[in-house]
Chain A
Amino acid sequence: MKQKLLDQIIKELHREAYLWSRQCCGFDDELAKDVLQHVYLKIWEEKAKYNAESKVKTWLFSVIRFTAIEWLKKNKKLVPLHEDYDLVEEEKIPEAASHEELIQLLPERQKEILLLVFYHQLTLEKAADIMEVSLGTARTHYDRGKKKLKELILKKQVYEATR
């Protein structure tokens, strides 16, 4: 693909790329801007190359995710986990929690897969590619994530009804 055409597609995907970058950075706006800027630099300097094996959106999301993890590791905001590991969080009742706060209560992998599938309307296969996991692993995170998020939504609804 010609560089000019690739630049054009990336420009068209800018809004979605920013939102994904923000989601990868725990909904931190400033961090998301820095990460995305770094991603564009990587692409322009050809440190990240598009090899036409996947769609531009899948590739771009993958670069954003990788860069965000790299960035968070550098700033020691992230603890690396084994890909199958699901962090068991202490159960919290989401008191008037926003949608973003509810998602943040999910383990990292579950959060990513649900955002990719439900928010960005990607297939499970493409989400697995972006997350660099097998389809089976992606499906496990997807099922667990759905179950967990439904529980959190229900708890929030119960809390709001009894308030």
Chain B
Amino acid sequence: MKLQDDMNDKELEMFFSELRNENNKLTIPEYPKKPSSNFRKLIPIGIAASLLLGIFVWNQTKEETPLYQDLIIISLIEGEDNEQRFVIEQASSMDVWESPTASLLNEF
């Protein structure tokens, strides 16, 4: 039975061998060129751009912002002869603000 099967398969093998020969005449298309992937190359550029943007935004927040109206600063300054006097200043921006009662924390 096995021998019979093998003999029958020979016929099929011959059939497929003829088919392979027929296919030898076929024009096989060229293997397509793999498109270069720019994605990986863009990763370091993306990181650098994000860092630059971050630094830019950080610097922007540290800039002095103008006040919505001019400010009058009245300070009490003690002179060399222990004489106290008022100093009046006008400013349109302020980068440091100190509470008028802050001195109470240090001076008694």
Contacts and interface: CB of A to CB of B under 8 A. Distances in A.
Contact of A153 (B15, B22, B28): B15
Contact of B32 (A40, A115, A149): A40
Interface stretch (B4-12, B58-66, B78-86, B93-101): B4-12
A49 interface: no
A109 B37 CA distance: 38
A44 interface: yes
Contact of B8 (A33, A103, A146): A146
Contacts of A91: none
B34 interface: yes
B35 A149 contact: no
Interface residues of B, number: 20
A60 to B, nearest CB: 13
Nearest to B16: A118
B19 A146 contact: no
Nearest to A121: B16
Interface of B is mostly: helix
Nearest to A100: B19
Interface in A115-149: 115, 118-119, 146, 149
Nearest to A33: B29
Contacts of A149: 12, 15
Contact of B29 (A18, A98, A118): A18
B69 to A, nearest CB: 60
A119 to B, nearest CB: 5
Interface in B1-57: 8-9, 11-13, 15-16, 18-20, 22-23, 26, 28-29, 31-32, 34-35, 37
Interface of A: 7, 11, 14-15, 18-19, 22, 29, 33, 36-37, 40, 44, 98-100, 103, 114-115, 118-119, 146, 149-150, 153
